[in-house]
Structure 1
Amino acid sequence: MKHLMRPTLRVLLLAACAAAAAACGGDEDPKPVEQGDPCEPNGHIHREPTGDWCHCNKGYLAAEDGLACVPDPDYVPSEGFDFGDNGEHACWHVTNGPFVTVNATAARHPRVDDFHTYYTVKLLPENGQYVGTFSYKAFTTGNFVVYLSSPDVPVTLTETAVSTTVPQAGAQATGGSCDALKHMVGYELTDRVQYTLQLGPTSLPELNMVIEHVE
């Protein structure tokens, strides 16, 4: 009888331990801790396979560890947007290329971020007018200009990851270096950031465009 009771006692002991652990929550998985945005309130986080980094607002820069936005001691507020040569260099590409035709589609957003390229952009019909949505990734931080063949085409630029509209820094007619590009829209963009560019709605089914970084 002595040998027959030992397994029974062992089973009772294990059951008691399991009950105690369950009562204390020992078998429960820890609740996941929600990750906040360490870059707020002066920026927002970009979580990418290559590593997280802060996209900081104007007047701020990333801290040494890249995961906080701190005041930029060298920041000087600009007075107006600098359009550089007012389209002279962009007009050079009208004649010399390279030339690329891109068709707007409903399935995806075609890229329009080739360097120094004269684009012929074909838009999609929508509600009696034409629109097109495209993808643009900045290759540096600074002033960028969208040069268009018509001033009558609405331009909307959105930071793709956070669906936030990027405000236009300025808009005006080109300097008259060519007839193919007549309008300029300026933006302050950030290196490595993916943007979504929407053109239209407009009555024009097709237009020409160059996007340049103003150095």
Structure 2
Amino acid sequence: MKSTLFNMVAVLFGITLVASAGVGVVNMITVEPIAQAELTAKADALKQVLPPFDGTSDQTLTIDEIPVAVYTATRDGEVTGYAVESMSKNGFGGEVRLMVGFAPDGEVINVNVLRQTETPGLGTKMADEGNVLLASIQGKNLEQMKLVDGKLAVRKDGGDVDALTAATISSRAYVDAINRAYMAYRSVARGVPATDVASGASAQTGGNAREGGENE
């Protein structure tokens, strides 16, 4: 083939077309397995944070412009608990997503960390079994804990939740997601109007600035 500008452009266009098609095919192949894996992880999380159940119904609220899903679990027609998929955008590494289980009376049953990109060995400990964040709230009704402006807070901010060592920002994000989950639980279980966790404004049914670094 004669080396001309037209020929070179044609070759480059052909290469780009083939590469794009390849990426598209790979995406088609991987989208379904990824979606299935996410569904499986969510189903496992529900089992970990709820008492035994034989059915769930769900609804979504919007709090702080963040969608929060609430799963009402039932067994033989009776409500056994509520699982709330909540998140915070304020983690040191970005988004922190949790599944929080509540007994019908509001007691925290368990918390499962669905997604986090925190500092290895520091913020990532929020996903460890029996970590201090979970230990501070598990088995407790949050209304009976020391609240700051009506919200759960780490000790450094005047609350009584123990923070992860050298991971205060990650700990605050975890607590932020828990507060949003509890707000959603109260809305669905008790009919209490949901309000934005950050501002206190009314939320709908249907991020704060981050600190400069991870510190204690």
Specify the TM-score bucket, using the shorter chain as the normaliser: under 0.3
More helix by share: 2
Q: TM-score, normalised by structure 1?
A: 0.24
Q: What TM-score, normalized by structure 2, do the two folds share?
A: 0.24
Bigger radius of gyration, 1 or 2? 1
